[in-house]
Amino acid sequence: MNISGNTILITGGGAGIGRALAEVLHARGNQIIITGRREDVLKDVAAANPGMAWAALDVADPAAVAAFGEQVVRDHPTLNAVILNAGIMKPEDLKAQPFDFATVEATIATNLLGPIRLTAALLPHLQAQPAATIMTVTSGLAFIPLAATPTYNATKAAIHSWTESLRHQLRDTAVEVLELAPPAVATDLMPGHAENPNSMPLADYTAEVIGLIERGNTPRGEILVERVKPLRFAEANGYEAVFEMLNG
């Protein structure tokens, strides 16, 4: 992926990692379109970054995603990259009675079905570009679970697997498929993350990610900062120890 000169759509671009990437890539000379559920937040981010575009979108709404896919390519015909960042992370008690499926269903709709549906909506346009990029955002927890957030982990593991299949199926096209797998980062994705001393500072994370992309340091199409590698490679390098570190 070239670090500048693109038209990039970033879902969940109003806060956290999405906003940080949007602002850094905007400063690097890319046209950025951010989406999210909350118009007021999107407007504030765009106002703070003159020239950045925004559009409200709930990626959990299938009809909204389909309509948005058609509209965004009309509004931004040079669109050649999408970062599928929107996601939710909530704790669940699997022993609770009665069990509340609302969190399960919302997490799957946002984290798993959302990226799949938006990719399907945009892929014909992206394939028509001279060069294009689809970047999924998974997690270190795709590879080893935080037991308190079971459905979140499962959706990220599923998107990791789905990304590998997408990359293989698009291998003979001009569409590059990347996977960004963050560690715990100091954002408001889940209460306490921003204040947790074990979370990686957002500015440090963003700078390391941009550096990896700029240098083309994306083996297997994965963008892995050093802090996430113990999770990513736990299966090969000591799964039980890492699981214990995460879950106690």
- Summarised one tens digit per residue, pLDDT across range 228-248 is 999 999 999 999 999 999 998
CATH of domain 7-247: 3.40.50.720
Q: Do the bridges between strand 175-180 and strand 222-223 make them parallel or antiparallel, or are there none, so unpaired? A: parallel
CA separation, residue 142 to residues 8, 10, 163 (Å): 25, 21, 12
CA 31 vs CA 56, 58, 144, 226: distances in Å: 17, 21, 35, 29
pLDDT band at 66 (very low <50, low <70, confident <90, very high): very high
Q: Note the pTM of the prediction, 2 decimals.
A: 0.96
- Quick one: pLDDT at residue 197? 85
Residue 78's pLDDT band, with cuts at 50, 70 and 90, is very high
Please give the pLDDT value at position 10: 98
Which among 194, 167, 157, 176 has a CA at the least distance from the CA of 16?
A: 194
| Catalytic site includes residue 239 | no
Distance (Å, whole) CA 151 – CA 153: 5
CA separation for the pair 11, 55 (Å, rounded): 10
Q: What's the rounded Cα separation, in Å, for the pair 41 and 15?
A: 8
26's tokens: 């905007």
Q: Which of 152, 178, 181, 230 is catalytic?
A: 152
Whether the pLDDT of residue 193 is over 80: the answer is no
Q: What is the rounded average pLDDT for all residues in the chain?
A: 97
What pLDDT, on a 0 to 100 scale, did the predictor assign at position 194?
81
Q: Which residues sit opposite 10 in a β-bridge? A: 34, 83
